[in-house]
Structure 1
Amino acid sequence: MYSFHVIPTSYYAAKFATVKGFLIAYCSNKYTKNPKKEFLLAKVNGKSYRGVVRPMKLTFCEQKNMNCQLETFYVNFNIPRKYLDNKQNLTIVDYGTKKKGIFKLYSGAARSKQFNGITLCVPTLYWYNNWLQMFFFLEYWRKQSNIQIVIHYRSMSSTVIKMINLYVKHGNVFLMPTPPLPRQNGRDIEPFIFGFGSKIYLNSCMYSRNTKYVLAMDPDEYFHLYHKDRRESVFDFVENEFKKVPHTHSINFANYKVSYRHRKITPSFKFSQKLLISKDTINKEGKSVVRTSKVGLIGYHIPIGKTPKTTYRVDTNRGIVLHARSNYIMRKIKGKFPQVVVFDDNELKNVVKHYQELKKELGGELKIEYDIKIANSLKTYDRVDTKKICSFDYESSRKYIEKLEDWVHAEDQCIMERLFIPF
Structure 2
Amino acid sequence: MTVTTTQAPGAYLDHAATTPMSSAALEAFVAEAGRTGNASSLHSAGRAARRAVEESRETVADALGARPSEVIFTGGGTESDNLAIKGMFWGRRSQDARRRRVLVSAVEHHAVLDPAFWLAGHAGADITLLPVDGEGRLDLDALRAELAAHGDEIALVSVMWANNEVGTVQPVREVARIAHRHGVPVHTDAVQAVGQVEVDFAASGVDALTVTGHKLGGPVGVGALLARRDLPLEAVSHGGGQERGVRSGTLDVAAIRAFAVALGEAVGAREERAGALAALRDDLVAGVLRAVPDAVLRGPDPGSTTPEGLPARLPANAHFTFPGAEGDSLLYLLDSAGVQASTGSACQAGVPQPSHVLLAMGISETDARGALRFSLGATSVSDDVERLLTALPQVAERARAAGLVAARPSMGGAA
TM-score range, shorter chain: under 0.3
TM-score, length-scaled by structure 1: 0.24
Which is richer in helix?
Answer: 2
Which is richer in strand?
Answer: 1
